[in-house]
Amino acid sequence: MSDLLFHIFALLSVACALGVVFNKNAVASALCFLLSLVGVAGLFVLLDAFLLAVLLVLVYAGAVVALFLFIIMLLDMQGGDRKRFTKATILSSTVAAGLLVTGLVSFASHGLVETADPATVKVVGSSLRAYAEQLFTVYLLPVQIVGFLLLIAMLGVIVLSKKFEGLEDVK
């Protein structure tokens, strides 16, 4: 049962992720992204990480994609004609794809990934308490740093997009 569900959700998220890239219509791409996120949330549920699944739907599917759609509609983006590939683009993308494949193959064949016995792995994502404890002890610093980075990015966007005419505007 859960194998079947895994295949359904995995197929959904991968197929929709491809849809995001290949759709010419920006709104259709955003909706594919939405479905892809729902698929990933389903995978989280199968891993018993209910909180993560719900937060993914709440934050990304519920708010971020809605903002994407808002911007797409506000700017009235039409897919437009795609530029033809130049020789430099073809060359660099072939090299990049080759590097990616090499990396994945070497990781799969020679990678030293220690897979612990599933029975001994401590489940930290299932109960709210365990999740919060990890968040406020082990991962406190990374979370704060990521939050700080996001704040800086937000400030940067505001500074770049707002036109400052005189000293008065800065104040």
**Least distance between other proteins and beta carbon 80 (Å):** 17
Of 8, 67, 97, 154, the one binding other proteins (CB under 8 A) is 67
Question: Taking CB under 8 A as the rule, which mask of x and - marks residues 102-131 in contact with other proteins?
Answer: -------------------------xxx-x
Residue 33 and residue 68 in contact, taking contact as beta carbons nearer than 8 Å: yes
Of 5, 22, 62, 138, the one binding other proteins (CB under 8 A) is 62
Of 10, 46, 57, 124, the one binding other proteins (CB under 8 A) is 57
Rule CB under 8 A: say whether 55 interacts with other proteins.
Answer: yes
Closest C-alpha among 21, 13, 161 to residue 79: 21
Rule CB under 8 A: say whether 6 interacts with other proteins.
Answer: no
Q: Which of residues 29-48 bind other proteins (CB under 8 A)?
A: 31, 34
Closest C-alpha among 20, 23, 49, 22 to residue 37: 20
125, two tokens: 């994502």
The alpha-helical segments, DSSP class H, found in 23-170 are 26-46, 50-55, 65-75, 87-110, 128-136, 140-161, 167-170
**Least distance between other proteins and beta carbon 129 (Å):** 4
Rule CB under 8 A: say whether 4 interacts with other proteins.
Answer: no
Rule CB under 8 A: say whether 12 interacts with other proteins.
Answer: no
Q: Is 91 or 150 the residue whose CB approaches other proteins more closely?
A: 150
* 47 secondary structure, DSSP code: T
C-alpha radius of gyration, the chain, whole number? 21
Closest C-alpha among 19, 100, 31 to residue 66: 31
**What does the binding site for other proteins look like in residue numbers (CB under 8 A)?**
27, 31, 34, 50-51, 54-55, 57-58, 61-63, 65-67, 69-70, 73-74, 127-129, 131-132
